[in-house]
Every structure is written in structure tokens, then in C-alpha cells.
Amino acid sequence: MDYENKLVLAPMVRVGTLPFRLLAADYGADITYSEEIIDHKMIKCERKVNEHIGSTDFVEKGTNNIVFRTCSQERDRVVFQMGTSDAVRALKAAQIVCKDVAAVDINMGCPKSFSVSGGMGAALLTKPDLIHDILTTLRRNIDTPVTCKIRLLKSSSETVELARRIEKTGVSALAVHGRKVPDRPRDPAKWNEIADVVSALSIPVIANGDVFEYDDFERIKVATGASSVMAARGALWNASIFSPKGKAHWEDVKREYVRKSILWDNDVKSTKHTLKEMIVHYSCLELPEGKAVIKSENLADLAKVYGEEEYYRSVSNNRFSLNGQSDMNHCTKELRQTE
């Protein structure tokens, strides 16, 4: 995994599922992070090859709950981001998925209560010994590159000190969000403090914070000296931010996202959440489009909202044909075994 001069899709809860990662990659993202997956969930999963849609699914045992879905098309660029507070559990989860992803990343920056209350995310920033334990355990036991993503600490010197400790664990790269835990998204990202981390380390640093246009990738790279740059909200609002040709119209981006969600049978709640985030940025949920998305109960409903009924039928018919062929092959195999 090369971390030099890369455009990176940030991990985003309920957004960074397979269709959105592929959408970002189509527009030019070199590395795409999954949404944060909690280790407790992952260790309950078994790996299943989904021949009907061409994906590899990690499904919670005893249920149909797909915790993580990936595919061969993204094998060399997808980063599995994990929420954890325990080295042994982190390793167990990583070993389940590591052969199907390009890297494993530990979330050390999420300030949300659901993450921090479990000792994960930003809660790890004050536990350098635990950070060392988690990262060194992963590095010693899996061949897949290991990275982590942090936020700024109270002072630049504290951030640099932690970053140096992280570097010593042997991680392949470090992503730094240029905000502190109490900061809100409206607070400007502190690019100068990311620059302090970059100048102190020899491993690649991925800069994150206030990247909303394609030109911002170069601006933050020059300002910080970072090896690569990560976009979150800018990519959520319009995934074509990664395109050097300029942004596509947001209506076209939404429609392509819906098509990918249909193709990869994405969870409808995840698809609706992402669409609502896009709509709120450019428009309003109280208008007909927003109301229709909210009322949608499945991907077929969303296909109608965006005029993709024919595409939905085509994908469904093709899937049905494949299922029928699979059942026929299975029956033929059983007949041969009984002869």
C-alpha cells in the first residue's frame, strides 16, 4: 500500500459502505476507508462469498446481518477501519478481514459518545500505552499494513509526542484530523498543527480537515507537507471532489450513487442516510425529493424517486437469472452425487 500523493476518502459512519467507496474511486479517490466497524461486531462474523452480486460479505453468525461488504474491484485500495479498545479483540477482528482489504486502520479520533463511551475512538488519545499495545499486536500478527487516525491533542507538542510513539509501533501511515476533540465541524481545521506532526515523523502522514474542493487537496498538502490528503464532508456532499476535471453536478452524483446502491444491494437505511446528507447540503428535506427519500422503504422506492426503475428491474432480473442458474447447478451436482 503506497501512501504517497494519494487522494483519500475518509471513514464516515453509515456513509462509507461499498457503493459510496466505489463511487468515490470512480471519481478519482486512490484510497477509500470503510465506515468504522466495531471489533465486537466483527468477531461475531463469518466470511461468505456472495456469488449473486459478486461481493465478499462478513455476516453476523446466525443472522443475515451484513456487517461489512467488499469486492475484488476495491481490494487494493479499501481500508478497513476498526473501533476497538482491546488488543486481543482487535487482532481477532483483523484476522477475519485482513486478507480481503488493503489495510487495517484503528479509529482514534471519533469524538462521538457511542465510540468514546466504549473506550474507543478519541478515548484512546489519552491512553498511549493501550495504543501501543493495540498497534504492536496487529503489526506482529498480520501481514496487512496497519495504520491509525487521530485528532489533535490539547497542544501541538502533545500531539507530536503521541505521533512519535505511534510511529515507533511500525504503522505504515498516520492520518491526522486537524481538529481537537471539543472542536465542532464549523471550527477551522488547524493545518499548522498537522504540519508540526509531519515535520516530526518519517512515515507518511495523511492530512484531514476542511477539504471541500479539488484545489484544497493541493492547498493542504502544501500547507502541511503531508504525503496524502483525506476528504470527509466534501466527499459526502459531492463524491466527484476527487476528479481533476472538476465536480460533476450533484444531481448526477446522487443518481450514480443510487445506481451503485442498487447494484450492490446496499442497506436501504445507509443509502437513505447518505442521500439525506447530500440533500440537506444543497437543498431541503421538506421539498418533494427529501420527503420521498424519507418515505422510501426499500431500494425499489428509491429507484422510483430518481427515475431508475428500469435500471432496478434490469439488475433484479439479472440477479434472478443468476440465482436460477446457481440453483440449477446445485441440483445437477446433487443428482450426480446420487448416481
The residues annotated as belonging to the active site are 110
- Any alpha helices (H) in the chain, and if so which ranges? 18-27, 39-42, 87-97, 113-116, 128-141, 156-168, 191-200, 214-224, 233-237, 250-263, 268-282, 288-295, 299-305, 309-338
Strands 7-9 and 103-108: unpaired
CA dihedral sign of residues 296, 68, 71, 231: positive
On whether the CB atoms of residues 302 and 293 are closer than 8 A, the answer is yes
Q: What gap in Å lies between CA 92 and CA 248, rounded to an integer?
A: 41
CB atoms within 10 A of CB 193: 22
